[in-house]
Amino acid sequence: MQQTGMVPVFYNADIEISKKVLKACYDGGVRAFEFTNRGDFAQEVFKELVKYAGKELPGMILGIGSVVDAGTAALYLQLGANFVVGPLFNPDIAPVCNRRLVPYCPGCGSVSEVGKAQELGCDVCKVFPGDVLGPKFVKGLRAPMPWSNIMVTGGVKPEKENLKGWFDAGVTCVGMGSNLFPKEVMAAGNWAAITDLCKEALDIIKEVRK
């Protein structure tokens, strides 16, 4: 997350489509990918993705998103999740992940939530929803807590002005969903376009981080 600065956030019920998207992101330079727990049998797709990445995509780190309870976190840890992300902060999830030395990135919407998450061992906290809280929230939070590693999700676009705003505010990385996977691109199966979007976004991040 710290090295590349971007984590694609994706869900699809079809394993073959998910594999193609994962490969497209990998070819674009992505090395940390969040598959979200959003549909029935999402765990079955995730299990196959982990196996696929292990064989075909060396260096790709796969995590699971949209996790709101400890039982779900435990299930995905058994399936090989390298990190766990949530839209909210559930203190019960932290010890489950800590026991396995797997990062838990909870969704936080206040300075107090970030502080409590850090107290429970969360190295990276997700600021969510980013489009509501905005870069000023991140900048304000990091003023008294400069050690904070923040990933922001929601309202992030593969555009220079948008990404510069977030990284200038002090985020460690960004999570990007639908803006990396436009509906028309997905419908056409244009995986090369997804690779290009990932490359462009990562190039912008390198530039604005300097």
Tracing tokens 């309870």 back to the chain, one arrives at 69
Q: pLDDT (tens digit, 9 = 90+) per residue, 107-144? A: 999 999 999 999 999 999 999 999 999 999 999 999 99
Count of structural domains, the chain: 1
Q: pLDDT (tens digit, 9 = 90+) per residue, 56-93? A: 999 999 999 999 999 999 999 999 999 999 999 999 99
Distances (CA, A) of 163 to 28, 57, 205: 17, 27, 7
Q: How many other C-beta atoms lie within 10 A of the C-beta of residue 17?
A: 15
Which structural domain, as residue segments, surrounds residue 66?
A: 6-209
- 137: CATH: 3.20.20.70
In a domain, 89, yes or no: yes
pTM to 2 decimal places:
0.96
Q: pLDDT (tens digit, 9 = 90+) per residue, 5-42? A: 999 999 999 999 999 999 999 999 999 999 999 999 99
**In sequence order, what are the residues at sequence separation of 6 or more whose Cβ sits closer than 8 angstroms to the Cβ of residue 115?**
145
Encode 4-13: b = buried (16+ Cβ within 10 Å), e = exposed.
bbbbbbbbbe
In a domain, 1, yes or no: no
